[in-house]
Amino acid sequence: MFIYFVTLAGDFHWKIHKDAPAIGELSSLLGYFFVNPLLYSKLNTSPSIEVRIAGIKDEASIITTNCFVFGTTRSQEDADIMIFPDYVERLATNLRYVSKQVDISRNFVSMFRIEIDGMPSLDFPHKNLEVESLLNSYVWSTAIVWEDLFIADNELNNKTIPVYETLLVDAIHALKGKDYRRALLFAAMSIESLTSTKLDEIYASITRSNDFQGNLRIIEFQKGNSLIRKDPVFEFLFSKSKFSERLHEVPLYLIGKSLFDEKEVLYQKAIKLYRTRNKIAHIGESPSGEQSYFEMNEKDSLVAINSAIEIMDWFGEKIDFPLPINITLVKMYHPK
């Protein structure tokens, strides 16, 4: 069989439980399987490959590496090594979203292939109870688990990851890197994408159903063999609406509630963020010392990101986004 090592431009972290299998078949790359990171050091033949076990806790190993390792039983003629640069970048993008490990690199660096007769045995490392180590809690909470890999793998086929959530991951990445301009911009863009997407989804769901309630003015007409349902009033409001109106008047008409009416403080934060986003887009920075704008610092960037998360929650998106702040330490043990 052939084993492929594909490196990225930076390290990332796995949290591999002792029950994880040695390999996992990939649905988005038929004929290939993914190799458990605990086997990387047994297969590695290159100094460019970095693999180290940071510690063990709760029957899971934290593994830091800069590569993905794949395998196939196809013949050399059938195995196409050139599929990996693009594939790995797309897989890393999905893993970054699924795990919320925001600094996973998405840039391909190098790859090489070896041929082996069979996979080595998978041995979970034993704890050295005499040597403790401390791990950043953000690393622990966002390390890629085995199941994340296959969610990310399936998403390569399904492509259902919402744009607004990936934009929020970008905002958190910018916050972690202390790039507060980008953090504010991406948080604002996330809310913009969220409101457009959710209002459109709700409207589509209503027009597909037979339960027309509230203020909607649904009309029906035949177009060819299809029955078309639409609300011309909503479509006019939606197409002409500004950012603020998509948080107040438009949802109030569509679903009978608005962010302004239910959470006015949060609504005002969103408007302030949008105003800041426009100012940054036009002059490259946010005015310092003005109450009507967010400033480019950690405190205001965090408020902006939390506001985006709260508005997602208001629209019914219950998603956990670990934030790289107030870091605590997780006690682990070194491997023997």
The ranges assigned to domains in the chain are 2-161, 163-314
Within 10 A of 133 (CB to CB), how many other CB atoms are there? 16
**Contact residues for 79 (Cβ-Cβ < 8 A; gap 6+):** 2, 72, 113
Would you state the structure tokens that stand for residue 43, as one six-digit string? 């297969």
What per-residue confidence (pLDDT) applies to 206?
Answer: 86
What per-residue confidence (pLDDT) applies to 159?
Answer: 85
Q: How far separated are the first and last CA of the chain, in Å rounded?
A: 30
What per-residue confidence (pLDDT) applies to 276?
Answer: 95
What per-residue confidence (pLDDT) applies to 43?
Answer: 92
Q: What whole-number distance in Å separates Cα of residue 228 and Cα of residue 144? A: 45
Is the pTM higher than 0.95?
A: no
Within 10 A of 70 (CB to CB), how many other CB atoms are there? 24
The model's pLDDT over 170-188, given as tens digits with 9 standing for 90+, comes to 999 999 999 999 999 999 9
DSSP secondary structure letters along 263-327: -HHHHHHHHHHHHHHHHHHHHSSPPTT-TTS--SSHHHHHHHHHHHHHHHHHTT-------S-S-
* Average pLDDT in the chain: 91
pLDDT beneath 70: ranges in the chain: 76-79, 211-214, 289
| Single-letter residue type at 281 | A
Angle between helices 163-176 and 298-314 (to 10 degrees): 160
Q: What whole-number distance in Å separates Cα of residue 106 and Cα of residue 12? A: 11
What per-residue confidence (pLDDT) applies to 211?
Answer: 66
Class of domain 163-314: mainly alpha
Would you state the structure tokens that stand for residue 137, as one six-digit string? 């809690």
| Single-letter residue type at 85 | P
Cβ atoms of 12 and 99 closer than 8 Å: no
Question: Which residue shows structure tokens 């190799």?
Answer: 35
Q: Hey, what's the torsion of the CAs at 305, 54, 36, 82, to 10 degrees?
A: 70
Cβ atoms of 237 and 216 closer than 8 Å: no
What per-residue confidence (pLDDT) applies to 82?
Answer: 81
What per-residue confidence (pLDDT) applies to 83?
Answer: 86
